[in-house]
Amino acid sequence: MPAARWRKRLTAALSERLGYKAAALFFAVVLWVAASGDEPTTRAVPVRFAPALDSSVRLLGTAPAMHAVVAGPARELLKLYATPPALRHAFGPETPGAVRLELRTADVDLPTGVRDVVVRAVEPAMVALRFEAFAERRVPVRLALGQVDAPAGLELVPEPDTVIVRGPRERVDRVDAITATLRARLPADSLHAVVALDTAGLGVTARPSRVQIVTRDRHAVPAAAVAPDTPAIGVP
């Protein structure tokens, strides 16, 4: 009967005062979690790429996945999975089309409220990025008119005679002039017509996008270029 007696004692030990035992187990788990939360540890957490781009630069595609190796209390590191750190880097107007960027720990911003956490490294150590740079410059306007009945001794000229073109840098560099095309007949009594600039196929925009056709004495000295922010007469 010794075996039966031991089974009875074991059953009693497990079944008596269950409330006290459950409470003791609960507090033991709480203490363990609290202690482990303060214990220093090291983890690799995702990083959000948040570049500061100049208005003349655009990132092509997406940046590759990045991780930061961080060290600190376990409970603080858990916050970084809900609110990932941000990796910041500035790119100015002279940014080339292809960039190999070295990732530094100083570029990683930890979210507000995370304490006692140190960034040890960033993985990968370097990434390849592609950018499209925009530029703008002033170019002359050329007229491409159909049949025109201009008064004798006068010539037709655009006003303004220069405009600002803007677009990808390599496209802007290829633009020597913008054409104002008018294919319809233009009688002498309807001069000062407004004509749209032809930018189709150039991949750029022009400011202003239309010019006015005016007459000028063929022997007059051409007027100075209109200032960039001066609106053209008659151009809405």
Give the domain ranges of the chain: 40-124, 134-217
Mean pLDDT, residues 35-56 taken together: 83
pLDDT digits (tens, 9 = 90+) for 74-115: 889 889 988 999 999 999 988 888 999 999 999 999 999 898
What Rg value do the Cα atoms of the chain yield, rounded? 36
CA 153, 156, 159 angle in degrees (round to 5)?
Answer: 135
CATH fold of 134-217 reads RNA Polymerase Alpha Subunit; Chain A, domain 2 (2.170.120)
Residue 226: pLDDT band (50, 70, 90) is very low
Report how far residue 23's alpha carbon sits from residue 25's, in angstroms, rounded to the nearest whole number.
5
Which spans in 16-150 are helix H? 18-37, 74-82
| Residue in 180, 109, 89, 169 with CA at minimum distance from that of residue 133 | 169
Q: Is 40-124 a CATH 2.170.120 domain? A: yes
**Does residue 152 have a pLDDT over 80?**
no
Report how far residue 43's alpha carbon sits from residue 68's, in angstroms, rounded to the nearest whole number.
8
Q: Which regions of 15-92 does DSSP assign to beta strands (E)?
A: 40-49, 52-53, 57-60, 66-73, 86-87, 90-91
Residue 176: predicted pLDDT: 93
Greater model confidence, 194 or 223: 194
Amino acid at the residue 82: A
**Does residue 188 have a pLDDT over 70?**
no
Say if 40-124 and 134-217 have the same CATH topology.
Answer: yes
CA 70 to chain centre: 26
pTM recorded for the entire structure: 0.54
pLDDT digits (tens, 9 = 90+) for 58-73: 999 999 999 999 999 9
Residue 15: predicted pLDDT: 58
- Strands 210-217, 154-159: pairing kind: antiparallel
Greater model confidence, 121 or 7: 121
Average pLDDT over all residues of the chain: 78
Strand partners, 139: 163
Amino acid at the residue 169: R
Mean pLDDT is lowest, of 3-17, 24-38, 192-206, for 24-38
Number of residues that make up the chain: 236
